[in-house]
Amino acid sequence: MLVIVAPGQGAQSPGFLTPWLEDPAFAARFEWLSTVAGLDLVEHGTTSDAETIRATEVAQPLLVATGLVAALQLFPHPGDAFEQIGAVAGHSVGEIAAAAGARVITAEQAMVLVRERGLAMAAASGRTPTGMTALLGGDPEEVAAALARHGLTAANDNGPGQVVAAGTLEQLAALKADPPAKARLMPLSVAGAFHTHHMAPAVERLASLARSVSVHDPRTRVISNRDGRVVHDGRDVLARIVGQIASPVRWDLCMETMTDLGVTGVLEMPPAGTLTGILKRQLPGVETFALKSPDQLDAARAFCDRHGESAGLETTPTWRMVVSPAKGTFHRDAEAADLDVLRAGAAIGGVASLRDTVSVTAAHGGQVVEWLVEDGDLVSPGQPLLRLHPEGAA
């Protein structure tokens, strides 16, 4: 199975777009998204210095636009991509690129959202001097205790030995002076304490905009940063992207879900390297591909051919699918089992795992066409559970 991932803020470096913009098709598409964002992203991707592209309001649109246009270079016929992509995931702001790639939102909607996300997060960061520091190694319990001692939040959990602490600059300085044993501290090139309560004003801003954004259910599995669950309701994907601004990135749980799905290959969109580095350490049996420059495109397509398989999520307008959000045992709701028509939001059951039980609802409702699993069946993330026919459809 092939998973496509998009990196988050901090992956950018000065001049990384220069070779990509030599292609006229890439340049034209990128200039269009720059226009939508209201920023000269061509300049920022080629000649702007590290400090300029470190700014939140610049870095985020730059990363999302790069991922979206590079995806069109990788898959010249976008519809064909869904015959190969088993799932998508993005780290932090990379979730916006992943959502657009899965057809939840359009590229233009993605650029408006990321522009406003960057501006709102920059404004929130300006209220109090904050930052982020990666802790590499150390005993997990001692690392957690050190963060609690200094009032810091584990804003990113990227797997064992890779936690990112976020908080005020004073709190981070105290951590530096009193670090957990055997942990190496690495300050990150970001402008604020992202994915913490410091970003609450940005959540409010994005939530108000999101109410006017039209969405579609994804064409492939979307793995959420919030809890690693597979999300197949477009409105839920968008809501999670909004809320994730002020909540931790659980990349560790995303990687668990990739394992549950049976991933064999992960391709990281440009500017690549950060996520594939984490995946190599945490999922040693999985092949990775870091797409960094256009001269790798043929090799990247061959990689996709080698690992690709359809997610099996048909998207015809005549019926809808309800899928499992996680790995576990499916327990059918007794009331739903006896109904021929389900209302929107009706519970159909739950998926129980060792961690918890996740309720499953029919987001859109409709006539029950076919139950695809039985009560007590083991299910995997994104597995179809129930086929519905929209009420009133011909």
Which sequence positions are flagged as catalytic? 92, 195
Full strand arrangement of the beta sheet holding 378-379: 357-362, 346-352, 328-332, 378-379
Q: What's the gap between Cα 331 and its chain centre? A: 28
Amino acid at 251: W
Closest by CA position to 224, among listed 199, 201, 247:
247
CA–CA distance, 365 with 322 (Å, rounded to integer): 9
Query: What are the tokens at 258?
Result: 């990739």
Pairing mode, strands 328-332 and 153-157: unpaired
Beta bridge partners of 5: 89, 268
Handedness of CA 307, 308, 309, 310 (dihedral sign): positive
| SS3 state at 136 | strand
Three state DSSP letters for 74-107: HCCCHHHHCCCEEEEEECCCHHHHHHHHCCCCCH
Q: Residue 362: which of 336, 344, 374 has the closest Cα?
A: 344
d(CA 64, CA 39): 13
Confirm if 101 and 4 have CB atoms less than 8 A apart.
yes
How distant is the alpha carbon of residue 250 from its chain centre? 10
Distance CA 259, CA 240 (A): 22
Q: Which residues of 19-33 are buried (b: 16+ CB within 10 A; e: fewer)?
A: ebbeeeebeebbbeb
Q: Could you give the CA distance from residue 360 to residue 351 in angstroms, rounded to a whole number?
A: 7
